[in-house]
Structure 1
Amino acid sequence: RIAYRPLRGAPRLVPLISAIGVSFFLQDIMRFYQSAANGDFYRSFPTFGPFSERLVLFAVDLNGRPLDIAIQVKSVIMVVVAILMLVGLNYLVNATRLGKAIRAVAQDQRTASLMGINVNAIIAMTFLIGGALGGAAGALFAFKFTRVDPFVGFLPGLKAFTAAVLGGIGNITGAMLGGIVLGLLESFAASYLSFFTKGAFGAEYKDIFAFAILIAILIFRPSGLLGQTVGQKA
């Protein structure tokens, strides 16, 4: 109501800047509160021992030495939950009355209002759904890494934006695909960047690699992998 509603008629970049400002404000409020109440703003979560075990997928022979290819149970759970959230969100947006209303408001607020849609309620519900999904992502992050702080979501948020741009803004499946592609490229960079650059760049530069992909996508394919090029309304 305070940060977005007055900016509905503004260019698209203005609400984005407002959102970033609100996120900084909320981060510092939580940091101040946690520091005053507990002396620090870091929080640790249980490790959930059984979920930290590794599942061996298969074994390969590497120069006469067996090498197990394994994945943590936590990672499997995160992938399954992410797929369920993707399917649920896709169904909500494309196969329900609420989803149709959300798409109508996103396309043209004035026309949607004339058709009897409560624009304010739909926008509020959209923020509620987005916040719930963000909270679920934060819970999965804490489940995986067991340590969080008010600023822990900043870099993952930037990478989520990169994944959305890579897959195609406005395309739910594209955002998921963009996240998978970005994760694979980051893992490749972390593993082989030092080898290809002869030690000049190490795994710590994988974040730069990710944002270089964002710049390249914005220059050469702004619509993303699955997005469609649409014209701006006059």
Structure 2
Amino acid sequence: MEFVQQLINGISLGSIYALIALGYTMVYGIIKLINFAHGDVFMVGAFVGFYAITGLGMSFFPALLLAMAVCSVFGVLIERIAYKPLRNATRIAALITAIGVSLFIEYGTIYVRGAQPEAYPGDVLPSTSFHIFGATISSQSLFILGTSVVLMVLLQFIVHKTKIGKAMRAVSYDAEAARLMGINVDNTISATFAIGSALAGAAGVIFGLYYIKIEPLMGIIPGLKAFVAAVLGGIGIIPGAMVGGLLLGVIESLVSAVGYSLWRDGVAFVVLILILIFRPSGLFGKNVREKV
């Protein structure tokens, strides 16, 4: 069954979008900033994973953990250097800075290592095929999906069951009140960037295994699509980012399946336009009155 196969492919792709979208939505939920450099953190994660596997001879899980750790530190550095000085600036100043940081990372990477693409080795994960309902599904797709789901469940545990998670929710709700209650707001914001960037780094390694080819500008389109996924689910809402990412991946795969593969990148932005027209707050969002 072609449909089942495309559905599995769509969910695997969507889980990658969901991991990146979580970083967007967490940062927006706390400091109301769209961190457009997030797609480039994803790219850095893909390269760290690649060099860990090919240069250091690591297997998949150690490479994934290393990429997450490096991206986590990288995300905190971006926040401390580029965004923290603009904490009380206008939203547009922070947004322009985010775009500047994004371009700096992309072309800094090209300057350091060149623009040539790299290819992930195909033997990192054992590749076998399963036949379910007449569809041929690779073990790699299921492995990618399983890893993504575990990371998402882990994030939900951190947000709802740990001290830093409670601090993040408090700062998201009211930063000033959280500060008065003794919560270190700056450290909480840094922790949010660290967790979101670690998930983007994991998505980069998973993306490299799934699509093989990686290059310095690879973060642009997945980054924008993950942003669409975050808006689709309701930006600032963690379950919304997960559902939005999975939905977008499935929609893309089904568009390719019916013969419109040239439209697979465009469909994300059609979805964005439709959601902004008909449900601006996203699937999980609530319309909130804002005092002017």
- Does residue 100 of structure 1 match 2:166? yes
- Note if contact 1:51-1:72 (Cα within 8 Å) is conserved in structure 2: no
Distance (whole Å) between structure 1 residues aligned to residue 291 and residue 147 of structure 2: 37
State the partner residue of 2:94: 15
- Higher helix fraction (1 or 2): 2
State the partner residue of 2:270: 212
Distance (whole Å) between structure 2 residues aligned to residue 232 and residue 94 of structure 1: 27
Residue 89 of structure 1 aligns to a residue whose secondary structure is helix
- Does residue 55 of structure 1 match 2:109? no
One-letter amino acid of the structure 2 residue matched with residue 179 of structure 1: G
State the partner residue of 2:136: 70
State the partner residue of 1:170: 236
State the partner residue of 1:154: 220
Structure 2, gaps ≥5 residues long? 1-79
Following superposition of structure 1 onto structure 2, how do residues 55-204 of structure 1 map, counting pairs within 5 Å? 55-59=130-134, 69-192=135-258, 194=259, 202-204=260-262
One-letter amino acid of the structure 1 residue matched with residue 171 of structure 2: V
Q: State the shift of 1:9 in Å.
A: 2.4
Q: Which moved more, 1:43-52 or 1:214-223?
A: 43-52
Distance (whole Å) between structure 2 residues aligned to residue 214 and residue 221 of structure 1: 10
Question: Structure 1 length as normaliser, TM-score?
Answer: 0.84
State the partner residue of 1:4: 83
- Note if contact 1:86-1:173 (Cα within 8 Å) is conserved in structure 2: no
Question: Structure 2 length as normaliser, TM-score?
Answer: 0.68
1:152-179 deviation digits (Å, cap 9, x = unpaired):
1111111111111111112211111111
Q: State the shift of 1:206 in Å.
A: 1.6
State the partner residue of 2:121: 46
Q: State the shift of 1:112 in Å.
A: 1.4
Distance 1:58 1:50, change over 3 A: farther
Q: Percent identity of the aligned residues?
A: 45
Pairs aligned (count): 213
1:74-119 deviation digits (Å, cap 9, x = unpaired):
1101111111111111111122111111111222222211111111
- Higher strand fraction (1 or 2): 1
**Bigger RCO (CA 8 Å, 6+ sep):** 2
Residue 70 of structure 1 aligns to a residue whose secondary structure is strand
- Note if contact 2:125-2:140 (Cα within 8 Å) is conserved in structure 1: no
Which structure is larger by alpha-carbon Rg, 1 or 2?
1
Structure 1, gaps ≥5 residues long? 60-68, 195-201
Q: Which moved more, 1:7-16 or 1:130-139?
A: 7-16
Distance (whole Å) between structure 2 residues aligned to residue 154 and residue 19 of structure 1: 13
1:112-153 deviation digits (Å, cap 9, x = unpaired):
111111111111111111111110000101111222111111
Distance 1:116 1:49, change over 3 A: closer
Q: State the shift of 1:188 in Å.
A: 1.8
Distance (whole Å) between structure 1 residues aligned to residue 185 and residue 124 of structure 2: 46
- Does residue 227 of structure 1 match 2:285? yes
